[in-house]
Amino acid sequence: MNKYLEDQNRVMREYGFSELINARRVL
């Protein structure tokens, strides 16, 4: 689970927080 959180953190930095929220909404 820790690795998953780290990957999400990377995505947040690379794509942006708004993108992460959108991805979460899709999920």
Amino acid letter for position 19: E
Other CB atoms within 10 A of residue 24 CB: 9
pLDDT at position 10 is 86
pLDDT in tens, the chain (27 residues): 689 888 888 877 877 777 767 777 776
Contact 21, 11 (CB under 8 A): no
